[in-house]
Amino acid sequence: MSARTHYLAVATLLSLAATYFTLIPFEFQAVSWDEAVRSFARALPTTVRPISPSNFAANVLFFVPLGYGLAGALLVDRRGHWAAIRGAVATMAMCFVVSVLLEFSQVWFPSRHPSASDILAQQVGALLGMGLWLGAGQWITDTIRDRVARAGSVKLVEWLLYSYLLGFVIYHLFPFDFVVQPGAVFRKYAAGQIGLA
């Protein structure tokens, strides 16, 4: 498989993972297409509002690797400014489409709510991922190729296991509801939500 195919596979898997996490707990409710479109159109203008830091971080983090993977699929082994510009525009357009489709699909899941703020946060993540690719993606790809060529398949398996471990940790930290403010830590402690063994 080519590097382009690898990056496309990564982007596809990440899109599926984002879909999974977006639609949890999978409580489906039948809604007609027309009503879904009306509901989505009504929801978006009313959901441009500040969101919690953990929700913002989760949406950004979902789309950083997606933006990186799509940019990699479009730009790996391609040089030049015009290729970078075309790839960047296409990456952002595809990430926007994925984001809107994810939010739109929430209409059929009553415990989930479409949000323009989520779409905005996801686009920030896509932009960061794409920027990471433009800044270091080709170098990272070349480095991995070089190391795999020199080390052989044993090191590749080791690298894949470390990647799996990282994915496992990220999965178990979801929904990334981290406390980042000292006042919030104190309130959680006072409410008995933090126990010290």
* 5's tokens: 């195919």
> Which pLDDT score, from 0 to 100, does residue 133 have?
92
Per-residue pLDDT of the chain (197 residues; tens, 9 = 90+): 677 888 888 888 888 887 887 777 778 888 889 988 888 888 877 666 677 777 788 888 889 989 999 999 999 988 888 988 999 999 999 999 999 998 898 888 888 888 888 899 999 999 999 999 999 989 988 888 887 777 766 666 777 778 878 877 776 666 555 555 667 767 777 887 766 65
pTM reported for the whole predicted model:
0.73
Q: Which amino acid is at 154?
A: V
For 91, the token pair is: 């990456």
Q: In angstroms, what CA-CA distances link 153 with 9, 25, 159?
A: 20, 39, 10
Six token digits for residue 52:
């919690």
Helices and strands, number each (H, E), in the chain: 8, 0
For the chain, the domains span 3-190
Count of other CB atoms within 10 angstroms of residue 124: 15
pLDDT of residue 174: 62
